[in-house]
Amino acid sequence: MSVQIDTQFVPAPSFRSYLILVTTFSMLIPTFFFAFMVFGMLDGAGSAFAVIAGIFVFLAAAGGLWAYLYYGTVRYLLTMTEMTWGRGVLWRQTGIVPYNRITNVDIIQGPVMRLFGISNLRIQTAGYSANQLAEIKLQGICDPEPLRGIIMDFVRSGHPVAAVTGAETAPIPASVSATSPEGQAADAAVLVELREIGAVLKRIEEKMR
């Protein structure tokens, strides 16, 4: 999976198949619940099994459709200062997590996920790490190590605050080359920031004369 700064990326295509499979089989739980009700209402075992099978097919189809649509809504974005995410079929959810709040990034891969060649990145922040909860999860990542390396490089680099303007400036992490478009854009941003600081200092000097 190729991840570029300031460019949205989505989970691996196999994540959609994984979602459909897991969601379909999860429908067995409510099906068993309805099975107890059906056996109590119908006398014939054959009729009861037919009704239960129909319920499972309906729930599995609904769950599979939801999983298919859900995959198309998942979006992630890494910038020089923060990471953003968005997902949701009926209720859209979005969030922003600055790198300076991230404390740890864990890679999670269950046995079924291993079959599909995907993993989840669990992002822990200062407010959530005490309860061992993840603020967000980057789901369906086929090559998680490089992505975790990019995120942790941003976390380790920190975000110092400019002394005069108070604006945040993000140093370029080691994983972003200085000759890449991302590195050149960062250099240009730092240059603009330095010019603004110089202009502010010049105005202060003129007022003090």
Confidence band of 119 (pLDDT split at 50, 70, 90) = very high
Confidence at residue 168, expressed as pLDDT on a 0 to 100 scale: 45
| Mean pLDDT of the region 59-71 | 89
For 39, other C-beta atoms within 10 Å of its C-beta total 14
Of 40 and 75, the one with more pLDDT: 75
pTM: 0.65
| Amino acid at site 26 | S
Percent of the chain with pLDDT over 70: 63
- Report the alpha-carbon distance of residue 103 to residue 124 in Å, rounded: 6
Q: Are 35 and 49 in contact (CB under 8 A)?
A: no
Q: How far apart are the first and last CA of the chain?
A: 58
| Mean pLDDT of the region 130-155 | 82
Q: What pairing do the DSSP bridges indicate for beta strands 119-125 and 82-87?
A: unpaired
